[in-house]
Amino acid sequence: MSGRGQRDLATLRCGDPPYAVHLVLPATLQEAARALLEPYVRVKVVTADHARWWQVRTTTPMEDDLDEHQLTTVRGTGEPPMRLWSHPGRRELVVDAGLPGPLVVQYLVRYVRILLRVGHSRGEELFLHGGMVSADDQGVVILGGKGAGKTSSIVACLTAGLDFVANDDVSLVGTEAGWVGRGWPRAVSVRQETLAALDIDLDSHVLSHPAHRVAVRDAGSEAILQPGELTSLTNRRPPRARALVRALVFPVFAESPSEKVRLVPLEAAAALRGLTENTVPVLLRNEKFLAPCFPPEPSTAALCSRVATEIPAYLLVQRFSALRESADMIRDLLSDHAMTIPSRSIS
């Protein structure tokens, strides 16, 4: 980077070796970035010469010679375009600092998360489209695609007294104690009708996500909440980073208003189908430009099979008018002391 402004930069080591990512950004933005990364990612101020796997930093074209970098322009849903420069040889990703500060921080944190996920996927970690709630470090993973009611279930669980771990990004890793679910730093989109159904009032809350301030997204039909804002809104303690997984839940909405809310145990074969359908690649649409920088993503078939065999799974039939009832059922899974989870270490 050129000399201008170097004294005002901070270097944060995000995550742990061997896949630690250095985040280099203006010192005035470091606390905002740290607030979004923690508690999911361990953050430590370091000097630039510390060992790192990849580096994410900010720049403006006038400050930097980026001729050897590859330029990519990405645009998230409802967000203004962002220019990114990547250099596989230097293991470096550069984010244009020309947009307003909150958007720059959001992109920096997003790509730190993406790079960490790439690294962790090499260590037999299963990434899923799902969330997680917990109590006393015991968790339930709630899996499902758009419209399945996953977020509604999670928010309802918070109002029922459970803790928040994740909403859309959860990963599972085997340990000697059993399967551990890990959350990742990502905002939560909650439909206004879900908040209304659970008597959650947003009027007195100022939301920090750029979608509500500087982005072009129309956020009128949904609230975009940082995890800490969601827990504050539901009067819960701060988000938890991880928990031991005691159950998998696949929510669906009942086909008729008279259908009973219920939990239905799933056989391993059905659980495997659900897991396979909700497995996600670590590089999604706006990250595909990074694919040439890394080996092909490993197969997840064996991990899915192990999880389906070792963790009890349930189909949750729920009604939008009875979200609290289904949340109580999920909470009861964690209070059932007769339930045990087979333990298996990753070999």
Tell me what the mean pLDDT of segment 148-165 comes to: 95
Higher pLDDT, residue 48 or 315? 315
Q: Which fold has domain 125-335?
A: Rossmann fold (3.40.50)
Residue 79 has pLDDT above 90, yes or no: no
The full 3-state SS of 280-346, as one line of letters, equals: CCCCCHHHHHHHHHCCCCCCCHHHHHHHHHHCCEEEEEECHHHHHHHHHHHHHHHHCCCCCCCCCCC
pLDDT higher than 80, residue 164: yes
Q: What is the per-residue pLDDT for 220?
A: 55
Cα–Cα distance, 55 to 74 (Å, whole number):
19
Place of tokens 């539901």: 234
C-alpha to C-alpha distance for 119 and 70, rounded to whole angstroms: 21
- Give me the residue spans of the domains in the chain: 6-121, 125-335
Record the pTM: 0.89
- In this prediction, residues 166-173 reach a mean pLDDT of 95
Phi then psi for residue 185, to 5 deg, are -70, 110
Looking at mean pLDDT, say which of 80-94, 279-293, 300-314 comes out highest. 300-314
Residue 239 pLDDT: 97
% residues pLDDT > 70 (the chain): 89
Helices 30-37 and 101-121 cross at an angle (nearest 10°) of 40
Of residues 61 and 346, which shows the higher confidence score?
Answer: 61
Alpha-carbon radius of gyration of the chain: 21
Provide φ and ψ at 245, rounded to 5°. Answer: -85, 120
Q: Which residues are CB-contacts of 14 (< 8 A; sequence separation ≥ 6)?
A: 20, 21, 22, 23, 37, 41, 42, 43, 112, 116
Helix (H), strand (E) at residue 223: strand 222-225
pLDDT at 61 over 70: no
pLDDT band at 205 (very low <50, low <70, confident <90, very high): low
Q: What b/e readout covers 245-277, taking b as 16+ CB neighbours within 10 angstroms? A: bbbbbbbeebeeeeeebebeebeeeebbebbee
Measured CA to CA, the distance from residue 271 to residue 273 in angstroms comes to 5
Mean pLDDT for the stretch of residues 122-136: 95
Distances 98 to 82, 109, 161, 251 between C-alpha atoms, Å: 9, 16, 42, 42
Distance CA 262, CA 33 (A): 41
Tell me the pLDDT band of 1, cut-offs 50, 70 and 90.
very low
pLDDT of 336 reads 61
More confident residue, 63 or 290: 290
Res. 4 pLDDT band, cuts 50 70 90? very low
DSSP, collapsed to helix, strand or coil, labels residue 132 as strand
Strand locations in 60-124, DSSP E?
A: 70-74, 82-87, 92-96
Write out pLDDT tens, residues 223-252.
Answer: 889 999 999 999 899 999 999 999 999 999
Return the number of other C-beta atoms located less than 10 Å from residue 211's C-beta: 24
**Alpha-carbon dihedral of residues 183, 184, 185, 190, nearest 10 degrees?**
-60
Q: At 145, is the pLDDT very low, low, confident or very high (cuts 50, 70, 90)? A: confident
Please say if the pLDDT value at position 209 is more than 80: no
Whole-angstrom distance, CA of residue 26 vs CA of residue 185 = 20
Q: Does the pLDDT of residue 285 top 80, yes or no?
A: no
